[in-house]
């Protein structure tokens, strides 16, 4: 019988502090422990409705500095807690800057049999904990309300009263408290005064990457996949530099190229990408546009050789990395 809700702390602005309560930008992220953050959530007892809040600090970090090893630690703790019968779900407090990457990563790697019946809800803040008007406590309360919904499943992000699926969520603003958007898909639902109002069904848990061999994720170095952008004046120089062996870096295995418009690529860069592909590097094309995905095959993709992913660049990088990992 589920009776606990687990809060895993990863750091971020939610846990940040500034020297003055009026300072919402000059703060240091990742200073306050998740246990203390929980104590600052107004009305938590009533949101929890008899469930016990259990907390654990997994990392204490500014999310721009997260490494793959931190994701592996998070995945381990999320999977561990979801597998416990007494746990109803997991809330992860996390920095906003790479939140969508962590959410997507978890949606691809937490075993599907766990996610089908229990949710993982990531939440965050745009104002530090020391702010006169922090947004973190309200976001944590909303995340708890979502995680305790009886039918909730899959990986979601809750911020500023909106529930986003891991597949669609993107950070779209560097300052506003309502910093996330789900693009054309729209949010899964809303949290209003602690009540969840679904606009769509809970996210489907169907990703084939859920069954990724866990041994592949235990390896120290995950396949190196870089994310590049095509733009006016682009050349092949960056791609060719990546192809040069570097004793300090793992060998390059893949490139995700965020192309202009419908995933088009500057012809100078395209030539270099074809060279990379001829050397066995996987090249995946996405659009650098904020909305939509690459439709059909791009006019510059004459060879038809660059696969295209209906994901944002940062998520396509994760998908390609996991796909290569599962094949090695
Ligand atoms: C971070 O991503 O850890 C810092 C920025 C934020 O949480 O808004």
CATH of the domain at 279: 3.40.50.40
Answer whether residue 156 is part of any domain.
yes
CATH of the domain at 150: 3.40.50.1170
> Rounded distance, CA 285 to CA 313, Å?
8
Q: How confident is the model at residue 310 (pLDDT cuts 50, 70, 90)?
A: confident
pLDDT score recorded for residue 300: 52
Instruction: Let me know whether 118 and 165 are in one domain.
Output: yes
State residue 56's pLDDT score: 98
Among residues 149, 166, 198, which one ends one of the domains?
198
Asked if residue 120 is part of any domain, the answer here is yes
In a domain? residue 204:
no
Average pLDDT in the 262-287 region?
Answer: 96
**Residue ranges making up the domain that contains 272:** 222-327
The Cα 1–Cα 295 span in angstroms is 47
Angle at Cα 169 formed by Cα 68 and Cα 77, nearest 5°?
Answer: 40
Q: Does the residue 215 lie in any domain?
A: no
Domain count, the chain: 2
Taking the centre of ligand 1 as the mean of its atom positions, its distance from the CA of residue 279, in whole angstroms, is: 37
Distance, CA of 211 to CA of 209 (rounded, Å): 5
Mark whether 28 and 125 lie in a shared domain: yes
Q: Are residues 188 and 264 in the same domain?
A: no
Residue 22 included in any domain: yes
Residue at 243 is within a domain: yes
Same domain, residue pair 168 and 277:
no
Q: Model pTM?
A: 0.96
> What are the pLDDT digits (tens) for 132-168?
999 999 999 999 999 999 999 999 999 999 999 999 9
Please tell me whether residues 230 and 191 are part of one structural domain.
Answer: no
Chain segment 174-233, per-residue pLDDT in tens: 999 999 999 999 999 999 999 999 999 999 997 656 556 667 777 778 999 999 999 999
271 and 319 assigned to the same domain: yes
Is residue 217 included in any domain, yes or no? no
Atom of ligand 1 nearest to the CA of 63: 3
The whole-angstrom separation of Cα 132 and Cα 327 is 50
Within this chain, do residues 9 and 123 fall inside the same structural domain, yes or no? yes
> Which residues lie with the beta carbon below 6 Å from any ligand 1 atom?
11-13, 29, 62-64, 95-97, 124, 126
pLDDT attached to residue 303: 55
Centre of ligand 1 from the C-alpha of residue 75, in Å: 19
Regarding whether 226 and 176 lie in a shared domain, the answer is: no
Select from 10, 11, 66 the residue to mutate for testing ligand 1; criterion: most ligand atoms less than 8 Å from CB: 11
137 and 233 together in one domain: no
Torsion of CA 150, 156, 162, 168, to 10 degrees: -140
């Amino acid at each position: 019988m589920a009776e606990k809700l687990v809060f895993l702390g990863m750091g971020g602005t939610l846990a940040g502090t500034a020297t003055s309560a009026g300072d919402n930008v000059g703060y240091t992220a990742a200073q306050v422990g998740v246990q203390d953050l929980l104590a600052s959530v107004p009305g938590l007892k009533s949101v929890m409705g008899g469930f016990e809040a259990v907390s654990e600090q997994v990392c204490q970090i500014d999310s721009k500095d997260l490494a793959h090893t931190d994701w592996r630690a998070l995945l381990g703790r999320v999977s561990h807690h979801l597998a416990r019968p007494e746990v109803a779900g997991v809330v992860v407090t996390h920095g906003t800057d790479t939140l969508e990457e962590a959410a997507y990563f978890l949606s691809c790697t937490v075993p599907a049999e766990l996610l089908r019946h229990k949710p993982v809800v990531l939440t965050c803040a745009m104002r530090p904990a020391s702010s006169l008007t922090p947004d973190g406590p309200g976001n944590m309360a909303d995340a708890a309300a979502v995680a305790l919904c009886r039918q909730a499943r899959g990986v979601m992000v809750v911020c500023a009263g909106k529930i986003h699926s891991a597949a669609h969520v993107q950070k779209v603003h560097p300052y506003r408290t309502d910093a996330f958007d789900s693009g054309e898909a729209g949010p899964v639902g809303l949290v209003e005064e602690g009540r969840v109002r679904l606009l769509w069904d809970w996210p489907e848990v169907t990703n084939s990457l859920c069954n990724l061999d866990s041994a592949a994720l235990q390896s120290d170095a995950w396949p190196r996949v870089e994310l590049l952008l095509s733009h006016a004046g682009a050349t092949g120089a960056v791609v060719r530099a990546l192809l040069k062996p570097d004793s300090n870096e793992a060998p390059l295995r893949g490139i995700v190229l965020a192309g202009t418009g419908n995933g088009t690529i500057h012809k100078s860069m395209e030539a270099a990408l074809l060279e990379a592909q001829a050397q066995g590097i996987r090249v995946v094309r996405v659009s650098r546009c904020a909305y939509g995905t690459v439709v059909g095959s791009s006019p510059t993709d004459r060879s038809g050789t660059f696969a295209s992913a209906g994901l944002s660049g940062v998520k396509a990088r994760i998908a390609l990395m996991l796909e290569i990992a599962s094949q090695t």
